[in-house]
């Protein structure tokens, strides 16, 4: 008779489904898949530049590649938002005594700063 208990040679926690998902993940995110995706994005870009491929279709393919390879980061961000800390942490200001050693070795500020003003001159109405 067949028993529903696991075999003694099969370690607990090893699942056929989990190993199958790990294989699919390795195949979809491996080095060969990355190389194929890079070649596909380059080919799609060339086809879009030459006018042989619709812009919407090309952007869809490129967005799909970025979504596939960035899925782990997106999932981590979403789970961090869902179950994370809801309070906004304010940055702490360091003790001035700790900074005194660092400030003395810094160069003195210059009087002229070319980037301090606006980058576009303002027209004045007359």
Q: What is the pLDDT of residue 74?
A: 87
CA-to-CA separations, 16 to 10, 22, 26, 72, in angstroms, rounded: 11, 10, 15, 22
Question: In sequence order, which residues have a C-beta less than 8 Å from that of residue 40 and are 6 or more positions away?
Answer: 61, 65
- Tokens standing for 93? 């200001």
pLDDT tens profile 73-124: 888 888 887 775 555 566 666 666 665 555 555 566 666 666 666 565 666 6
Q: C-alpha angle 46/52/58, rounded to 5°?
A: 65
Q: CA 88 to CA 102: how far, in whole Å? A: 29
Other CB atoms within a 10 A radius of the CB of residue 37 amount to: 19
pLDDT tens profile 25-76: 888 888 888 898 899 999 999 999 999 999 999 999 889 988 988 888 888 8
């Amino acid at each position: 008779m067949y028993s529903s208990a696991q075999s003694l040679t099969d370690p607990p926690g090893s699942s056929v489904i989990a190993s199958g998902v790990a294989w699919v993940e390795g195949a979809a995110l491996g080095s060969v898949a990355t190389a194929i995706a890079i070649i596909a994005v380059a080919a799609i870009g060339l086809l879009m530049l030459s006018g042989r491929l619709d812009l919407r279709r090309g952007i869809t393919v490129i967005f799909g590649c970025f979504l596939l390879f960035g899925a782990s980061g997106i999932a981590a961000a979403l789970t961090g938002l869902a179950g994370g800390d809801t309070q906004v942490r304010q940055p702490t200001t360091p003790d001035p005594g700790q900074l005194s050693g660092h400030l003395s070795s810094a160069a003195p500020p210059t009087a002229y700063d070319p980037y301090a003003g606006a980058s576009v001159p303002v027209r004045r109405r007359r």
